[in-house]
Amino acid sequence: MKWYGNIVVVFLLVFILLPGGAAEASGDLQTLLDERSAVLWIDGEVLGDLVIGARAQAALIYVDGKLSEAAWGDQTAPDWLKTQTGYYGSREARKKKLFIIRLKTINNFTLDHSMIKIGSHVLTPADVLTNKHYVPVGDLPAGLTADFAVVIPNAAVKGKSVSFSVGEYSTELEYPKR
């Protein structure tokens, strides 16, 4: 009978302490994501906290070991992040840098691989690791959110930062400090 009491105490401690640990882990994951992301507004004009007239938003996320481990170790991480970071360490990603491109359309938008440039490399279908059926290309409807993993040769993305452009719109992503 005494061991039932011990089980109840252990269960209550786990139940009480676990939510705080999960919240802390998701906070760490968000910090890692923020450090490894650059956002680009296509056809939009930024005015303070507002963006006017944007057709789409594209985010470039650099995937390294820390982000991949954090995504898989955090039970509250979104499925899209776990799926795309799952390519880290794969045969296809060897000797290349892994990125996730997350696209949200606000108005109708036309996208082609050749419109996307990361560093000095123009994206090709061969660079995409995600199943080709899930990659948004062509005429895209308003309200679409999609993400896909790409690998870029190391030589094209050297330095402390990398440029990211979609068509004539571009931004810079600074790599996290080690």
Q: Which tens digits make up the pLDDT trace of 57-112? A: 999 999 999 999 999 999 999 999 999 999 999 999 999 999 999 999 999 999 99
Supply the pLDDT for residue 171: 95
Domain ranges of the chain: 2-174
Query: Of residues 20 and 132, which shows the higher confidence score?
Result: 132
- pTM equals 0.83
The pLDDT tens digits for 112-161 are 999 999 999 999 999 999 999 999 999 999 999 999 999 999 999 999 99
Q: How sure is the predictor about 2, in pLDDT bands with cuts at 50, 70 and 90?
A: low
pLDDT at position 46 = 82
Give the pLDDT band (50/70/90) at residue 50: confident
Model confidence at 13: pLDDT above 90: no
Both tokens assigned to 79: 């499925």
The DSSP secondary structure of 13-46, one letter per residue, reads HHHHHHHHHHHHHHHHHHHHHHHTEEEEEES-EE
CA distance 132 to 144: 16
Q: Which two tokens stand for residue 155?
A: 């030589």
Confidence check: pLDDT of 25 > 50: no
User: What DSSP line would sit under 90-145, residue for residue?
Assistant: SGGGTTEEEEEEEEEESS-EEE-GGGEEETTEE--GGGB-S-GGGS--EEE-TT-E
